[in-house]
Structure 1
């Protein structure tokens, strides 16, 4: 308890005792003279008694306030600086400013004054049996006095639990291609490399004579009336796609994982998302060097369409190549958001949006082919294809594991959180893909 508080309590106790003694002296004087108190004596007696009661109330309030401050001081000492200093500062503020009594806060409120206005304002009596109701009266807490900051160390920041991440680009390519499972580290598939179609109308045979030997070395000579059927030719080759690993890890402390319940989930989600972003980049643009996929744009045998007049003309010519040369019907045109914006904002000669404008609803198409945006697609380039002719084989879907068996993590109470997936990728029919130059 501070010296100021002790002195204040002692002063109130002495003044209350003095008022009580003065009232007692008046009463004892009248009693000793065996008479009733005179009007003047009664007035002085009542005044001393009233003063004594008021001082007693103030004394009780001061002692209660001192007890609360002592408890607050103990709590603040447990918390440490600056909390202890805040409580010490509160102890130097006058009681009236530091802790207004409930009644004083009520009578000084604007809502209370408004309530009494119809009856003449504060100091006027409200008629008996009158039904009244005031507006809500705000009551400040114990350590809220004359300033907004007087709560000191007892104002605690609210923890919302919100963790706002930076955001991620949408991933669209995996949903376009074929996704299959594999239980092996190497995937084989057979691709046709050539096809000669010799089918033709053939007349019925008019002779059963066998082929004759040639006059010199060479193939047998067939009888012109033999009705022989034309022979076609197909060629195939076996190709392989090797399972690759896409992985990433981050360090964390065991204490952080234990203290923050949502941290492990956040790490897992973010690592999985990083793996998915790397996978999409490999599918589109992997360079085939080392353990990288050979992505669509770097696959040998895909077709190319140069820029011609504008985006719309160029895309239409690419569709022709996909259908005539690639013998496929394109399932999507993948473009960078910059080219998608250019397409959306193109207007005709009357100033109307060519694509339908901001009110257009439904799937976006160009020449009947679905238009798909991907930030992974390089700006100025598009990929038109039957995307089912690209296949991703999942060997192991994305998994997240934790271990302290990394370098000296065990003795440092740290863990490595690792996410990885294993998969293989191949463009099984390259001619079904057309790389489109969309920039003039």
Structure 2
């Protein structure tokens, strides 16, 4: 049995399936009925090839032949398990670990020659929904997202005065004032690199999953979250909710819970409350959870449960606890009304072994990553934030 030929056949089938999925992702649509049928056919071919290779691997002589040409059958039947950080999962999940592992090691877990390459990763436009009784773990769970070009324009409301009223027949109708300002903006690239990693270590799936699935993706997610909240709007920074003009503000009043409740009233009065959520720093959320009454009982009971710790809600509204938020300040935002995330380029994971370090082996003694059997990974995405309704944002001062 020609193992190389079977593996080549399997790779062709997998590549064909990936091409179908990539085309649908690029065009922002689901697979057609015909494409679905073709995808199933290619997966059937790949599965059959995998089974044939595994049967051949049971033969000792075949195993020896594979080792002789540098292929390692180790862990070929071990299931791939992708570790998921809660924030990554809440932001839409990821199969980075499995995808890269198969690219690095082959679909059946065989060790293969790794070429420099990249894997486009679909941006989760519909992340995990908000469910009652379950805390919001990522800001992106609250923000609508669309696929679009790097340069974009949209209308931002600057004045909102509703004068609708009963009118007698034949009388002049009142005029409401809704003023809009055109905003022209662009997406920003959010990216980071890994340190050089030993190629041999990538054969260890758990290590690969921790590095790729957690660190690379989580790093991009956290950087994006920081931009959504605190982006200054200058240079390569988005304009975040903390720096947009026209938002509302709530000063400190009496105590932390009272202040948060009065911020809720601001959105209630302006009819932006439905779908709103608080964004607070973990230190401030700790203060909320540790609030106690005069009898030193934690402030979690009563006729109305003011603070729901397990589902992370206060005054009935979800709370996102993130270190991207400035301590001592909170935001109450109707993200579904106020914001939208524009994705110009899906997240992409790229690896290279061609980097040259002039001091890799000591001062003045250089070597390339290829010579040292090293790889470097890069993760990046291209996204921009639209803020349609600044009045649906309340900045809350939590500093006593």
TM-score, with length taken from structure 1: 0.51
1:420 aligns with 2:364: no
1:324 aligns with 2:273: no
Does the 8 Å CA contact 1:197/1:232 hold for their aligned counterparts? yes
Deviations 1:348-367 (A, max 9, x none): 2233222239x977534322
Of 292, 303, 309 in structure 1, the residue corresponding to residue 254 of structure 2 is 309
Query: CA offset at residue 184 of structure 1?
Result: 0.9
Corresponding residue of 2:287 = 342
1:182 aligns with 2:147: yes
Q: Highest CA radius of gyration, 1 or 2?
A: 1
Judged with a 3 Å threshold, the aligned counterparts in structure 2 of structure 1 residues 376 and 439 are, in CA distance, closer, same or farther, namely same
Of 186, 190, 201 in structure 2, the residue corresponding to residue 246 of structure 1 is 190
Does the 8 Å CA contact 1:169/1:375 hold for their aligned counterparts? no
Query: Number of residue pairs matched?
Result: 253
Judged with a 3 Å threshold, the aligned counterparts in structure 2 of structure 1 residues 360 and 319 are, in CA distance, closer, same or farther, namely closer
Corresponding residue of 1:333 = 278
Q: Distance in 2 between matches of 1:258 and 1:203?
A: 76
Q: Distance in 1 between matches of 2:225 and 2:161?
A: 36
1:278 aligns with 2:223: yes
Deviations 1:362-384 (A, max 9, x none): 53432222233222222211111
Corresponding residue of 1:78 = none
Corresponding residue of 1:374 = 322
Q: Distance in 2 between matches of 1:266 and 1:327?
A: 40
Of 376, 397, 400 in structure 2, the residue corresponding to residue 437 of structure 1 is 397
SS of structure 1 residue aligned to 2:262 = helix
Q: Higher relative contact order by CA 8 Å / sep ≥ 6: 1 or 2?
A: 2
Q: Distance in 1 between matches of 2:158 and 2:309?
A: 42
Query: CA offset at residue 311 of structure 1?
Result: 0.6
Of 261, 286, 298 in structure 1, the residue corresponding to residue 243 of structure 2 is 298
Deviations 1:100-157 (A, max 9, x none): xxxxxxxxxxxxxxxxxxxxxxxxxxxxxxxxxxxxxxxxxxxxxxxxxxxxxxxxxx
Does the 8 Å CA contact 1:390/1:426 hold for their aligned counterparts? yes
Does the 8 Å CA contact 2:264/2:273 hold for their aligned counterparts? no
Deviations 1:257-312 (A, max 9, x none): 56655544443222112111111111112222211111221222222211111012
Q: Distance in 1 between matches of 2:229 and 2:354?
A: 35
Does the 8 Å CA contact 1:326/1:431 hold for their aligned counterparts? no
Q: RMSD across aligned C-alpha pairs, in angstroms?
A: 3.2
1:395 aligns with 2:344: yes
Q: Distance in 1 between matches of 2:160 and 2:241?
A: 23
Q: Distance in 1 between matches of 2:334 and 2:378?
A: 35
Query: CA offset at residue 327 of structure 1?
Result: 4.0
Consecutive unaligned residues in structure 1, runs of 5 or more? 1-164, 206-226
Query: CA offset at residue 432 of structure 1?
Result: 0.8
Corresponding residue of 1:363 = 311
Does the 8 Å CA contact 1:303/1:434 hold for their aligned counterparts? yes
Judged with a 3 Å threshold, the aligned counterparts in structure 2 of structure 1 residues 199 and 382 are, in CA distance, closer, same or farther, namely closer
Query: CA offset at residue 423 of structure 1?
Result: 1.1
Judged with a 3 Å threshold, the aligned counterparts in structure 2 of structure 1 residues 255 and 236 are, in CA distance, closer, same or farther, namely closer
Query: CA offset at residue 247 of structure 1?
Result: 0.8
Q: Distance in 2 between matches of 1:356 and 1:201?
A: 44
Query: CA offset at residue 419 of structure 1?
Result: 0.9
SS of structure 2 residue aligned to 1:353 = coil
